[in-house]
Structure 1
Amino acid sequence: MVLLLFVDLDPALAALRPLGAFFALRTTGAPDPAPPTLARTYENQASDVYGHSITFRIRKVGEALHAPEPRIAASIAHQALAARLWSVALGCAVHYGRIPDLDPRLLDWDPDGSAPDDLWLSAVRPLPGDAATIAAVVLQGHLEPLAALLHDHHRVATGLLWGNAASALTGAVRQLGGDRARALGAELLAHPLLAGALDPVTLRRRSCCLYYRLPGSGVCGDCCFTRAPRSSAHGASG
């Protein structure tokens, strides 16, 4: 039997900082005026500064990467935000034994920022660090409404989006390493929203994030394709 020793969440979530940019989460110093919350983003509410935040982010990513169509930028922006949320939750679960409440109403998101400067948590409220709580907070609280928004307003296939979510989860688990991270990852991959998104043996995706369609790029390490398809018709995979 392994005895796990955990500490309380500290107000600055300092244990996340050494883990890298995607794990760090700011709890102070949000810009003034504060950027829109993720709750407003998922509800597709317009702000005075950015208009519709997700559309602003997709345009920003598309311009930076010279994406030939918005759907590719939408997929990449989605995977990056999914990776941020998984990393914060799993990093806290592993290092604190608890996670902060990541309610979308508590998270300010700057669609013009870049990790780790894009998210601010307005209050640190501890929750259990088990897989069921992480699933409720990240999958159901964030990735489900985000997937609905991107599917309905930006024509991104839901299979592609859940593939992104599963891929981002396994990436965070690999970065953390250790038995606890792997156990949490395995439980989360069995969740109905993610089950089947990856090959259970190889952890390769069963969909494509469309990254290969960017100029000068190739396929990702866990892509369903072993080489970039010649026909752009494959870009709809998901």
Structure 2
Amino acid sequence: MDLDPDLAALRPLGGFFLLRTGGAPHGPLPTLAQAYADEASDAYGNPLTTRIRKVADGIRAPEPRIAASVAQQALAARLWSAALGCAALYGRIPDLGPRLLHWDPAGSAPDDLYLAEVRPLPGDAATVADVVLQGHLQPLAAALRARHRIAPGLLWGNAASALAGAARQLERWARAGGRPEAGDRARDLAARLLAHPFLAGTGTLTGANFRRRSCCLYYRVPGGGVCGDCCFTRAPRSSPRAASG
């Protein structure tokens, strides 16, 4: 199936998979390229800083790096979901280059993303890795580490967790909707991507279940706990430094 201009096949999957195409309805938005390069936009200042502040206020984060971790994992989940959804349902993905993806950093969760133009690319694991891992998550990690004290293992663990979660949700949806072949493609893609050098060693995939070897630090927000795939079975009481690697 060819990609359609509206990427309509993603709509039934819900907000994390939805990718809006064309111009943003409320005027121009900054691109993700601006966020990674520390470029200011007229309306938002630096988009990444704006997003981290938004997340920090929403979760009452006690320190900026916790909000940065949560924001990074949420954006990774959006990027993986859109790419995996298209690969599984269309067999192809759109070019999700950072200069083509516009972002509302002050918007609600999940992150609002707008793709300026639909340019078809192959839907294989190598292309998805090039588009998402190298095109987005590598420069995003570099930008966050330049501004916050965040261990690289934490950020790549977040990326792997977001990937496994997107694949799991897509597989469940596909099987419930009588499209097991789409679920199989999603699971196979996720397994191949988790073997990429950036993600290898971040955790263990058993069937559809992923157990990571790092912690996103969410347990440190007021009322927060450990996530389902966390390396911890309960929130640690000792120094958080052990969780940041």
Unmatched 5+ stretches in structure 1: 1-6
Pairing 1:203–2:197 present: no
Aligned to 1:127: 121
Aligned to 1:50: 44
Q: Quick one: which of 219, 235, 239 aligns to 1:228?
A: 235
CA contact (8 A) 2:17 2:78 kept: yes
Query: Separation in 2 of the partners of 1:235 and 1:30?
Result: 42
Pairing 1:152–2:146 present: yes
CA contact (8 A) 2:204 2:212 kept: yes
Shift of 1:52: 1.1
1:77-226 alignment, distance < 5 Å: 77-115=71-109, 118-177=112-171, 178-201=183-206, 203-226=210-233
Query: Separation in 1 of the partners of 2:132 and 2:107?
Result: 21
Instruction: Please tell me the residue identity of whatever aligns with 2:20.
Output: R
After superposition, give the CA deviation of every residue in 1:27-76 in whole Å (9 maximum; x if it has no partner): 03404531110011110101121111111111110011111111100000
CA contact (8 A) 2:96 2:115 kept: yes
Identity of aligned residues (%): 73
Shift of 1:154: 1.7
Query: Separation in 1 of the partners of 2:24 and 2:110?
Result: 12
Instruction: Please tell me the residue identity of whatever aligns with 1:155.
Output: R
Q: Quick one: which of 3, 9, 15 aligns to 2:9?
A: 15
After superposition, give the CA deviation of every residue in 1:134-191 in whole Å (9 maximum; x if it has no partner): 0000000000000000011122211100000000000000011121111000000000
Query: Separation in 1 of the partners of 2:123 and 2:108?
Result: 26
Aligned pair count? 232
Shift of 1:114: 2.5
Aligned to 2:179: none
Pairing 1:34–2:31 present: no
CA contact (8 A) 2:29 2:102 kept: yes
Q: Quick one: which of 57, 71, 88 aligns to 1:63?
A: 57
Q: Quick one: which of 18, 21, 30 aligns to 1:24?
A: 18
Query: Separation in 2 of the partners of 1:224 and 1:119?
Result: 30
Shift of 1:115: 4.2
Shift of 1:88: 0.2
TM-score by length of 2: 0.91
C-alpha spacing 1:123/1:115, structure 2 compared with 1 (3 Å): farther
- Look up the SS of the partner of 1:46 in the other structure: coil
